[in-house]
Structure 1
Amino acid sequence: MTNAQSWDAGDLARRLAENAEAVCRHYLSAGRRHGNYWLVGDVRNTPGRSLYVRLHGPSEGRGAAGRWTDAGTGEFGDLLDVIRGSLGLTDFRDVADEARRFQALSYPESDRSRKWRQAIASRRPEATGTNTEAARRLWDASRPLSGIADVYLRSRDLTDRSGLAALRFHPDCYYRADADSPTETRSAMIAAVTDLEGRVTGVHRTWLAHDGRGKAPVEMPRRAMGDLLGHAVRFGAASDVLAAGEGIETVLSLHEVMPDLPLAACLSSAHLAAMAFPPTLRRLYVLRDDDPAGDHAVMTLQARTREAGIECLVLSPRLADFNDDLRYLGRGAMRAILHPQLAPQDVARFLHPVTH
C-alpha cells in the first residue's frame, strides 16, 4: 500500500466510523445491534454472534468506533475490512471506491450523478433482497394511519394528516431485542422507504407505548429494514424543490407550516448524505441536525449538489431539531425561524400562514 493509499484508507475508515451503525446495517445485515456493539457471525456477513463491531467511541486508539474483533478467529480490523470481507473484494481501490459510494464522497467524473445511480442500482441483490421482500410484506400487511400511531404523532404536535400516505400502522409488529431474545408483538408506526420511482425498498418501524404517548420502553424502539441506501421516506412528489432531513418527526414538523413542500426523511446522517437526487431537482433544502455526523452530511450534500448544478440551502432549527421548535416554540415561531432561511420565491410558494 502506498503512502497516498494509507492516508486515504485512514481518512475513509474514520469517516465510516462516524456512522458505524449505518455501515453495519448495510454490509453486515445478518447481524443485530446489542448495546454499543453490532454482533454478527463473521466479516462475510454470516449469521451469528462471534464478530463484534464497536458502534461508538473515540476516532482513534483503544475502543475506537468502527473497530471489530472476531472472537472465534482472533481477526480484527476496521470498517474498510468489513466492506472488503462482506463484498468479497480483494483490491484496495475497489474497497475505497465502495466506501466512497456509500458515503457519497466526491468523484472526479463529471457525470457523477449517473454513476451514483448506477452504483446504487448495482448493489448485490443477495445482500438486501430477502430483507426488502420482508419489508414489502410488512408494508402490505399494515393498516392506514390510525389508532395509537395517530396519538403518537399528535403527542409530537404533528396534526396535519394530508399527504402522509407513506405512514401506516401495524397493531402486532414483531420486536426482538437481539438474536437470543424472545420475539414480542407491539404496536408500531410503519413508514415506507421508496426509491425515486416510488417502489417500496424498505420500511422503518417505530414501536409505540401502549397509549401511544411516546415510543415503546424497549432498547431500540426504532429500526429500519430493507434496501435503504439512496432511498427515503417521502411526503409529496418532488419536482424542482425538495427538503430532506434525517428523522421522520423532524421533516414532518416542516409539513405543519409548509404542507405543499415535498419532504424526504432519510433516517440517518449517512443515508441523508447518500440520498439520490430526483432528475428534475433544482433546489435542495437540508434540515441540519446539530451534531458532527449531521455537519458531515451537510458538507457532503453541498459538494454533491454543487457538482450536479443544484442549489443547496441549509435550514437550521433554533432548538435541538425542528420538532423541538414546533413543540416548544409553536407554529408561529416555526414560520418566523424558516422565513429568512428560504429562497424568496419559496416563501410565497410554500410557507403557509399559521391558522391553528
Structure 2
Amino acid sequence: MASAGRSRTALATGTRSGAVYAGPAASLFRRWRVLGADLLNDRAIARALGGEVVGRGHVLAPGPGHTRPDRSMSVWINPASPERFTVHSFAGDPFGVCRDYVRNALGLPAWQDGTRISVDPAETARRSAVREKARAAAEAEALTKRQRALRIWNAAHDPRGTLVETYLRNRGLELPADLAGEVLRFHPICPWGDRTVPAMIALFRDAHTDEPTGIHRTALAHDGRKRFEGAEARKMYGGAIGAAIKLDADAEVTHGLVIGEGIETGIAARQLGIKPVWALGSVGAISTFPVLPGIGCLTVLGETDAKGANAAAIQSCGLRWVEAGRAVEIVRPRTGGDMNDIIMGGSPA
C-alpha cells in the first residue's frame, strides 16, 4: 500500500500486549473504561450474540434475523436501564424486538424497573414465538432488499461513455478501467422513490465474504452533475453495514487497507497513489467498520465537516482497531474538505 507520507497523522499506537493512547484519544479512552465497569460483561455479550467488542461496554452484533457477518445492532452496557443494557438497530429493526433478542441470547429473565419478576411458562413460549416470527420476517425482508438491489445492479451497464464518466470528469476524476462494470455502472432509469433517474451505481460487497450485499446510487442530471443536493443526492439500498464498495479487490489487500466515506474520495485517493481503497458510503459505516483479520494497518481518509461527524467516526473506528493491536493512520487534505478537493485544486464541488 502506498504511503501518504507527511500528510498522515497518527491517531494512536498500539501493540498486542497493550495500547498507548495520545491526544484526543486519551479522553475518549477514559470515558469508555467507565462504561466497562457495569453489571454485564461486554465479551460475554459479544460471544452470546456472535458479535465483537468495539469499545468498553459496547458490542456490535448481527441483528435479529441478520447473517453472522452483519453488525447492524449496537448494544451498550447501561446499569441505569431496566435490562442493564441499551440496544439500537442501524438497520431499522424494532427496538422491542432487538431488546428481547438480546435478553434471550443472554439468558436473562424478564426485568421491570430493575426488579426480577416471574414469568408464566406460557408467556415465555409466546415471547419466544414472537421473537422467532420477527427474526424470520427480518431475514426475509433483508433477502428481498438484497435481491432487489442486485436486480438494479444487473440492469445497469458499463459506465464508460455515459453520464457517469461525465460526472467524474466534472470532479477532476478519471474512470479507471478496472472499476468500469465491476464496481461502478450506469443505470439510465434507476428507481428513485416514486420516480426514475439516471444514476451512477456502485456495488457493496461484504467486508468479510466479498458477497454482493447492496448498492449505492448517485442521481445524475443530464449535464453529468449531481441531480440533487444534500441527503437526496445519494441513496443506498440492500445491505451496507459491514460492507464496502471495494475500489480495490480483496486480492489487492494484503497488510494495509485504506477506507473513506465517499466513492469520489476513494477514487481521488487512488489517483494520488494511495491504495488499496474501499469506500464505505457513509460516515456511520466508518464508525462501525469491523476489524478484519490479516490487516495490520488501517488508513482512514479524513474529511472536514461542520458537525465533526467524520472526525468522531474516525475516533470510534480507530480506537477499536488500536485495541485489537492494529496500527491506525489518518490522511487529511491540507486544503479543502476531502481528497477530491485536492484533485480539484482545493475548490469543493
Question: Is the shorter-chain TM-score for this pair beyond 0.5, marking a shared fold?
Answer: yes
CA distance in 2, matches of 1:161, 1:133: 27
1:90 aligns with 2:104: no
Separation in structure 2 between the aligned mates of residue 303 and residue 94 of structure 1, nearest angstrom: 30
The structure with the largest alpha-carbon Rg is 2
Counterpart residue number, 1:306 = 322
| Residues 215 and 237, structure 2, Cα contact 8 Å, conserved in 1 | yes
8 Å Cα contact 1:84/1:90 also seen in 2: no
Q: What residue number does 2:203 align with?
A: 192
Task: Give distance in 2, aligned partners of 1:95 and 1:85.
Answer: 15
Deviations 1:223-269 (A, max 9, x none): 0011111111111122211110111111111011216x111111112
On the 8 A contact 1:149/1:188 being kept in 2, the answer is yes
* Residue 274 (structure 1) aligns with: 288
> Does the 8 A contact of 2:213 with 2:238 survive in 1?
yes
Pick from 211, 215, 240: which aligns with 2:223? Answer: 211
| Cα deviation digits, residues 317-347 of structure 1 (max 9, x gap) | 12211111211249xxxxxxxxxxxxxxxxx
Encode CA deviations 1:191-239: one digit per residue, 9 max, x unaligned. Answer: 0000133211000000100121333479712100111111111111222
Q: Which residue of 1 aligns with 2:256?
A: 241
- The answer for the alignment partner of 2:242 in structure 1 is 230
1:141 and 2:155 aligned: yes
Q: Structure 2 counterpart of 1:220, which letter?
A: E
What is the rounded CA distance, in whole Å, between the counterparts of 2:104 and 2:342 in structure 1? Answer: 43
- Alignment partner, residue 168 of structure 2: 153
> Where does the alignment leave 5 or more consecutive residues of structure 2 unmatched?
1-36, 40-62, 65-85, 107-135
Please give the alpha-carbon distance, in whole angstroms, between the structure 2 residues aligned to 1:167 and 1:288. Answer: 23
The answer (yes or no) to whether the contact 1:160–1:255 under 8 Å persists in 2 is: no
Larger proportion of strand: 2
Residues 127 and 327 of structure 1: CA distance in aligned 2, closer, same or farther (over 3 Å): same
Q: Distance in 2 between matches of 1:287 and 1:223?
A: 21
After superposition, give the CA deviation of every residue in 1:52-105 in whole Å (9 maximum; x if it has no partner): xxxxxxxxxxxxxxxxxxxxxxxxxx9859765363523886899xxxxxxxxx
State how far apart, in whole Å, the 1-side matches of 2:295 and 2:339 are: 23
SS of the residue 2:243 aligns to: coil
Supply the RMSD in Å over aligned alpha carbons.
Answer: 3.3
Mapped partners of 2:233, 2:105: distance in 1: 33
Answer whether contact 1:231 1:276 (CA < 8 A) is retained.
no
Q: Structure 1 residues 272 and 219, CA, compared in 2 at 3 Å: closer, same or farther? A: closer
Cα shift at 1:313: 0.4
Higher percent of residues as helix: 1
Residues 1-356 of structure 1: pairs in structure 2 closer than 5 A = 80=88, 85=95, 87-90=97-100, 124-146=138-160, 147-164=162-179, 165-176=182-193, 183-195=194-206, 196-216=208-228, 220-237=232-249, 238-258=253-273, 261-291=275-305, 292-318=308-334, 319-329=336-346
Give aligned-pair identity as a percent: 29
2:232 aligns to what SS in structure 1? coil
Q: Is the 8 A contact 1:248 1:265 kept in 2?
A: yes
Question: Given that residues 243 and 284 in structure 1 are in contact (C-alpha distance below 8 angstroms), is that contact kept between their aligned partners in structure 2?
Answer: yes
Aligned partners of 1:312 and 1:218: how far apart in 2? 30
- Contact kept, 8 Å, 1:83 with 1:95, in 2: the verdict is no
Amino acid at match of 2:301: L
C-alpha distance in structure 2 between counterparts of 1:293 and 1:223, whole Å: 19
Aligned partners of 2:286 and 2:140: how far apart in 1?
24
User: Secondary structure of the equivalent of 1:161?
Assistant: coil
Separation in structure 2 between the aligned mates of residue 303 and residue 123 of structure 1, nearest angstrom: 35
Contact conserved, 1:135 with 1:202, CA < 8 A, in 2?
Answer: yes
Q: TM-score, normalised by structure 1?
A: 0.57
CA-CA distance at 1:127 after TM superposition? 4.3
